[in-house]
Each structure stands twice: as C-alpha cells, then as structure tokens.
Amino acid sequence: MDEVSRYGGTGRNDAVRRIGRTLAIGVGALLFAPACLAAPSPAPQAPVVAAPSFGFVGLEVADLEAAKKFYIDGVGMKQVLVLSKPTDPFQKIALNFSGDPRTGGTLLILIHHDKPMAPRTQPPAGMVGMMVPDTHAAAARLRAHGYTVLREPDASAKGPVLTSLARDPDGLMVELSEYRGAPTP
C-alpha cells in the first residue's frame, strides 16, 4: 500500500500534507510532554476543617449591645462575623478571641430576636467556660469594666486549674479557667 492510498488522499501532495501534520503533532507532543511532566502539579487544597472540632456556642441574649460589651470589653473577645441580614427578624454576631473566624477556635454566637417568644423569669441554665492564660487578669479585666466577679481563687492558690466566675448581662454563668498543669485523664 502506498502513502497516497494509506492516508485517503487522491494525490501525492495530499499525502505529504497529512504525513507532515501527523509528524508535526507527534513532535509537538514529544516537546511538550517533558514540560508537562516537569511542571509542578497544583498543591492540593487543605480542607477548611481538618478534623472534627467544637465549632460554636449560640446564646440568645435580651440586649445585644449589653452582651457585646460584656464579651468584647469585659472578657476580651473580638467580633469576627455578622451572621444575619438586615431583613432578618433577629441579629446574630460571632465572636472569638483571635479575631479570625478561620483559626479553629470555638465561636460564641450572640443571638437577639427582635420579638422574643416570652420574657425570661429567671437566669438561663447552663454555663459558658472559657480558657484564659491568667484567671486573675481575666477577673481584673471584668471588674475594670464594671462587672461583678462572683468567685476568684486566692492569689496563692495552687492546682492544675484555677477558675473565676462571673455572670453575663443575661445572668448566664461564665467560667474563666486557667490551666496550669498537665491534664490528667
């Protein structure tokens, strides 16, 4: 079988053009392939959440501004997100200690409903616990902003965990814990 009939052409010029195109494509592939193989592949994207973790705690508050003042000024948190739209019948903001919602730390979400379901007759049940580097400094900060500290360990207290207690504006117990020693199971 001659080159003309193999490539389906009717004349020698058609066959030469087809062979030339095939050869050019093959040479181009040979020249381009090493560059593709040598080029670094894009780095795989790390997942946003690498391992399961505790993401947030949501608290319903009667007065959003009073709660923000307590947790931001008194406790030292930072507002990182607004989670509600202006048209929502509630306001939701997220706070954490780093100021970056992607750090992996637990978010405290304050939720205020424009029309609460029913007025509270007693403080909310439960407690919010926060780890702090120095419970005495945390208690002093709360006092400096006009909040009452219900309990604080003596300055000479020893032990693996020292804790101060306060109540937020809605009456929820807030525990500020300082871990001093290695955790024991």
pLDDT digits (tens, 9 = 90+) for 91-146: 999 999 999 988 868 999 999 999 877 777 777 888 999 999 999 999 999 999 99
pLDDT (tens digit per residue) in 20-59: 444 344 444 434 444 444 555 566 666 565 667 788 999 9
Between CA 144 and CA 139 the distance in angstroms is 9
Confidence (pLDDT) at 42:
62
SS3 assignment, position 101:
coil
Residues 6+ apart with CB under 8 A from 156: none
* % pLDDT > 70, the chain: 70
- Domains present along the chain, CATH in parentheses: 3-38 (no CATH), 56-117+124-179 (3.10.180.10)
Between CA 45 and CA 52 the distance in angstroms is 18
DSSP letter, residue 40 = P
DSSP letter, residue 47 = P
> pTM, whole model, 2 decimals?
0.69
pLDDT (tens digit per residue) in 54-104: 889 999 999 999 999 999 999 999 999 999 999 999 999 999 999 998 886
